[in-house]
């Protein structure tokens, strides 16, 4: 006879529905460990069917300890799951793995932990998008209120931390490609230049316009293209009258990284 206490105990361990818990306990003749294995096998069957489900929700978590900052990003199917305490607990454990392992090793161990323990509890398709570590003199970060977009800024020792937080927020909003305009490769600029030139040539207003004039206009567009896609030369979202480099200092930021679900 399977008791309500046994069902509750199995549910507390697995977070699986009461009916599934009772059925697993009945099949295992009340053996909790065997019932867990039965539920895991059942979920694996379900997981195979869900493997192609889109994972457009999820959560990014950032933890800073001393000069080290850890970032984990995991996607899932619904925001209900991403807001669950179990999901957050999983992210915390992933970060603990990264503290004592290389990125490659931590991700491998996190995948095992996800499959062995949390996939059963969560019941959704999940993907580990990032599990990384930053270590430098000054690091600041920002996680947007939806927990799906975040940024980390690495900077030199003299840089104002509060200003860096605002720059991190700026990065989440504008998604710059590089730090400085000169960091954009000539190949990317050449491709954009070719596209813009073709657009101009197809515009009837430019019919008969001398080639040298067209090229000067394109060169101006390329300067703007570089500046708009580089963090330091973007207009600062908090104060559009300033460029980011005017707000934070041109030589303050070492690097940045944006994360998104």
Going along the chain from its start, the domains and CATH numbers come out as 4-50 (1.10.8.10), 57-158 (3.30.479)
Q: 112 vs 28, 54, 61, 105, 235, CA distance in Å? A: 25, 21, 19, 11, 44
**pLDDT of 51 over the 60 cut:** no
pLDDT tens per residue across span 88-126: 999 999 999 999 999 999 999 999 899 878 887 787 889
61-82 mean pLDDT: 95
Helical segments of the chain, H only: 4-14, 18-27, 32-50, 79-82, 85-99, 103-113, 119-122, 161-174, 186-202, 211-228, 244-248
79-95 mean pLDDT: 94
**pLDDT of 39 over the 90 cut:** no
What lies within 8 Å, CB to CB, of 99 at 6+ separation is 68, 70, 133
pLDDT tens per residue across span 170-207: 999 999 999 999 999 999 998 888 888 888 888 888 78
Q: Which residue has the tokens 């209900």?
A: 80
**Token representation of residue 41:** 């096998």
CB of 72 closer than 8 Å to CB of 89: no
pLDDT at 54: 72
Q: Which residue has the tokens 């930021």?
A: 253
CB of 153 closer than 8 Å to CB of 141: yes
- If pLDDT is split at 50, 70 and 90, which confidence band does 68 have? very high
Strand-strand pairing, 149-155 and 253-260: antiparallel
pLDDT tens per residue across span 150-166: 999 999 999 999 999 99
Helical segments of 114-152, H only: 119-122
Q: 102 vs 71, 98, 131, 153, 258, CA distance in Å? A: 13, 7, 10, 21, 20
CB of 10 closer than 8 Å to CB of 36: yes
pLDDT at 258: 98
The pTM assigned to this predicted structure is: 0.75
Backbone angles phi, psi at 145, to 5 degrees: -60, -25
Cα separation, 187 vs 158, in Å, equals 35
pLDDT at 119: 80
Comparing 61 with 117, the larger pLDDT belongs to 61
pLDDT at 115: 81
pLDDT tens per residue across span 226-246: 999 999 999 999 999 999 999
pLDDT at 74: 97
**Token representation of residue 219:** 């060169």
Q: Find, among 180, 173, 250, 184, the residue nearest to 222 by Cα.
A: 184
Mean pLDDT in the chain? 89
**Token representation of residue 7:** 């069902």
52-81 mean pLDDT: 91
């Amino acid at each position: 006879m399977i008791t309500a206490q046994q069902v509750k105990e199995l549910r507390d361990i697995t977070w699986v529905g009461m009916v599934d818990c009772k059925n697993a306990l009945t099949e295992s003749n009340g053996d909790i460990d065997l019932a867990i294995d039965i539920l895991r096998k059942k979920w694996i069957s379900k997981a195979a069917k869900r493997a192609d489900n889109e994972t457009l929700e999820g959560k990014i978590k950032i933890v800073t300890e001393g000069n080290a900052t850890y970032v984990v990003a995991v996607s899932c199917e619904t925001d209900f799951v991403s807001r669950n305490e179990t999901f957050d607990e999983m992210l915390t454990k992933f970060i603990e793995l990264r503290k004592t392992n290389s990125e490659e090793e931590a991700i491998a161990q996190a995948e095992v932990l996800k499959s062995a323990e949390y996939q059963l509890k969560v019941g959704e398709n999940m993907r580990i998008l990032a599990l990384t570590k930053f270590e430098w003199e000054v690091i600041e970060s920002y996680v947007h209120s939806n927990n799906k977009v975040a940024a980390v800024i690495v900077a030199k020792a003299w840089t104002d931390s509060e200003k860096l937080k605002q720059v991190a927020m700026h990065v989440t909003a504008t998604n710059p490609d590089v730090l400085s305009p000169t960091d954009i490769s000539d190949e990317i600029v050449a491709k954009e230049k070719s596209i813009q030139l073709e657009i101009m040539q197809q515009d009837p207003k430019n019919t008969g316009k001398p080639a040298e004039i067209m090229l000067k206009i394109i060169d101006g567009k390329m300067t703007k293209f570089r500046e708009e896609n580089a963090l330091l030369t973007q207009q600062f979202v908090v104060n559009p009258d300033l460029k980011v480099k005017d707000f934070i200092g041109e030589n303050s930021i070492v690097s940045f990284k944006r994360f998104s679900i």
